[in-house]
Structure 1
Amino acid sequence: MTQSIIVQVGQCGNQIGSQFWSSALKEHAFHDDSGYFSESVASFFRNVDSKSRRNLAVSNPPTQIQSLKARAVLIDMEEGVLNRLIQSDVGELFNSTELIKDVSGAGNNWATGFHFYGSHYQEQIVDAIRKECELCDCLQSIFILHSMGGGTGSGLGTRTLSLIAENFPDVFRFVIPVYPSADDDVITSPYNTTLAMKQISEHGNCVMPVENQSLSAICQQLGSAKVDNIKHTVTETKEKAFNRMNSFVAKVILDITASARFDGSMNVDINEICMNLVPFPKANYLVPAIAPLYSPKISQPRHLDAMFTDVFSNHNQLCRVDLRKGTFLSCALLVRGNLQVSDVRRNVDRLSDCTKFIYWNKDGWKTGLCSVPPIKQMYSILSLANNTSIKYTFEDLRSRFYKLFSRKAHLHHYLNVDGMDIDQVKCAHESLNDQIAFYSEMESAQPLHVARPKII
């Protein structure tokens, strides 16, 4: 059984992480009521009870978790979120050696997070991650959770990613960056996001982008409040609404790793996702979508075939793009529940007729079937679409970046940080242009007409 480590950076990353650990505990408890520590639980947790294999946390989460420790590293330069996390129901999952924190924050400045805090804490970060790696029997992947708009998430988050790539190059790096909304109240977020994108494009094996705007829209369509900006009217507490948004991101990690934690007739290993879905280093962005979407107001399961259709709808995407505008380089359908392989293949055949794949990978589907469904659901699907339409999201970012950079607005805040210079900003802009150009080239790619050799 393989293991994974979760690295949570910044306020956003730690809030998502908090939701993930709670959901993971509940999922293992629901499907294994024996209460014994198992290989399945060991994917994300360590058993530190040397006297007994009995683990009360699995049978009754999250009230008794003394014998479990999370395979995690928690980083934030403002200690408020981490302090609340440690005091929460899942706080006992974490050791003090796994916490790296400061008090002043990065001030919505990528350079402060990347250069100032990154240089100051890099040895501590690497040591904390190395200790977690050494406690794994078969480490396969590290998930990095962080935001793109703020200073700690974008700056220190991507510095952490680069340190992992440098010190643990053989471990698969799955990045889940949360992109800010177009009306984000952090005016420097286009700078932060562009500078961070260069790092995750270079150092992430698989990048699964998530947008605040998309999460908010999903909550709205399920009857929740729109809470991506404080000025919006809310119909439920802000904390509950954010927890629901974070739960969708947590579900992505749970579904990706389901095959590593539970049995199934077509289990998909983590390394297969990277191998099959990322044909080129630059094509490492996988748009996640989940189905069915449930809420207290929508509890009836969708028809099975409709569920397969839903994951290609922008209403179910955590990063909203129009897949019909682009070309698929590859696509994964990771299914959980009591389904037959024939059900999956029938729907893949049906969807193949209405999806456009690049000419050299017409059969670019990767399917997985794990027999264990999510809690209180019959079945679910996670789709990971490597589609060129992600370039339109990048083009929108480039437009917002240029509005600031063309006037050099707010740039002095970045250049005043030791280690930062104007060339890094220009290089990040060029990297974004290259990313857009690459996907445009893939979108317009045509088969090469090579003359057949004459048979004499």
Structure 2
Amino acid sequence: MSAVWLQIGQCGNQLGQEWWQTITSTKNKKDDMYPFYSHNGKLSVVCVDSEPKVVKKLQKQIKRGAFRESNLIVGKQGRGNNWAFGYHGIHSEGEQNLFTWTMESLRKQVERRDYYCGTVLFHSLGGGAGLSSRLCEAIREECPLGRILSVSVVPHQAGESPLQHYNSLLCLSWLQRYVDGVLLFWNDEALRQASALQGKDLPYSSCQVSFSAMNTSIACCLTGLLHPLKAFRTPSHPENRAAERRRVSWK
């Protein structure tokens, strides 16, 4: 799939970090690089966030030189988990062009592809939902023939932000209107899976599980859906365990 990948907000970029660590770790680069890389070896990804800290960390942790500098777009002020601020933007110096810069970088990235089939969005339904809604609407208008796939993370049921449920409803409304497919991942379920893999006996809600472990769990599911190669499967993968049981039963 020759797509352009768009990471939005803190959640989208943290999830993208685990995703690209998995993709760039493959040893069979010649066969696997085309769906994700441009001709010059740069990843076909645009990273945008209203605050710089997550994108800067992403650039440092993924191997040096994999990202195009012009595709790392950051603002100076957060949106306070407010959908309206994310959608309409903040009219202050340096902030009102965040959406424009993102669409310009996305357009250039589409032109670099031999064949553009669509855009994959990584984002949360809680914080950053307003900007995600605006971008998927604009992408549909700019590239009507391309498909849009949304990888959406649902916030915890008992989250910290009192606006997260409103943000989720508004963002889902926009996704239903403009995108072609939605992959929903629940933070509570990712927390449960991550705690189970770490061998925690306590209830998962009381376990100390890092965001990185939760994002790794989601990224593993995505590799099976979007890039199902044997090189990415681990012995603990559910499909591998099921296949092993079938093989033993046949013996």
Q: Give the alignment's TM-score, normalised by structure 2.
A: 0.84
- Structure number with larger C-alpha Rg: 1
The residue type equivalent to 1:116 in the other structure is: G
Q: How many residues in Structure 1 have an aligned counterpart in Structure 2?
A: 240
Partner of 2:59: 86
Q: Distance in 2 between matches of 1:257 and 1:220?
A: 24
Question: Does 1:170 find its partner at 2:145?
Answer: yes
Partner of 1:105: 78
Question: Does 1:248 find its partner at 2:217?
Answer: yes
| Structure 2: gaps of 5 or more residues | none
Choose which of 51, 66, 69 in structure 2 pairs with 1:96. Answer: 69
Contact (CA 8 Å) 1:85, 1:91: kept in 2 or not? no
1:308-327 equivalence runs, <5 A: none
CA RMSD of superposed structures (Å) = 3.0
Distance change (3 Å), C-alpha of 1:253 and 1:4: farther
Partner of 1:122: 99
Question: Does 1:135 find its partner at 2:112?
Answer: yes
> Shift in Å at residue 244 of structure 1?
2.5
Question: Does 1:205 find its partner at 2:180?
Answer: yes
Distance change (3 Å), C-alpha of 1:300 and 1:206: closer
Contact (CA 8 Å) 2:193, 2:217: kept in 1 or not? no
Distance change (3 Å), C-alpha of 1:175 and 1:92: same
Contact (CA 8 Å) 1:212, 1:228: kept in 2 or not? no
SS in 2 for 1:87: helix
Choose which of 45, 54, 63 in structure 2 pairs with 1:72. Answer: 45
Distance change (3 Å), C-alpha of 1:254 and 1:292: closer
Partner of 1:45: 37
SS in 1 for 2:25: helix
1:236-265 Cα offsets, whole Å, 9 max, x none, are: xx5xx3222212322343233337xx79xx
Question: Does 1:294 find its partner at 2:233?
Answer: no
Q: Distance in 2 between matches of 1:211 and 1:228?
A: 14
Contact (CA 8 Å) 1:148, 1:192: kept in 2 or not? yes
Distance change (3 Å), C-alpha of 1:122 and 1:139: same
> Shift in Å at residue 228 of structure 1?
9.2
Contact (CA 8 Å) 2:17, 2:62: kept in 1 or not? no
> Shift in Å at residue 99 of structure 1?
1.4
The residue type equivalent to 1:195 in the other structure is: L
SS in 2 for 1:69: coil
The residue type equivalent to 1:121 in the other structure is: L
The residue type equivalent to 1:10 in the other structure is: G
Contact (CA 8 Å) 1:175, 1:206: kept in 2 or not? yes
1:306-352 Cα offsets, whole Å, 9 max, x none, are: 79xxxxxxxxxxxxxxxxxxxxxxxxxxxxxxx9xxxxxxxxxxxxx
Question: Does 1:304 find its partner at 2:243?
Answer: yes
Distance change (3 Å), C-alpha of 1:205 and 1:136: same
Distance change (3 Å), C-alpha of 1:227 and 1:124: farther
> Shift in Å at residue 122 of structure 1?
2.9
> Shift in Å at residue 148 of structure 1?
1.0
Contact (CA 8 Å) 1:219, 1:244: kept in 2 or not? yes
| Structure 1: gaps of 5 or more residues | 49-67, 264-290, 308-338, 340-456
Distance change (3 Å), C-alpha of 1:159 and 1:228: farther
Q: Give the alignment's TM-score, normalised by structure 1.
A: 0.48
Contact (CA 8 Å) 1:147, 1:178: kept in 2 or not? yes
Distance change (3 Å), C-alpha of 1:169 and 1:302: same
Partner of 1:431: none
SS in 2 for 1:42: coil
1:217-236 equivalence runs, <5 A: 217-223=192-198, 232-234=206-208
Task: Report the structure, 1 or 2, having the larger helix content.
Answer: 2
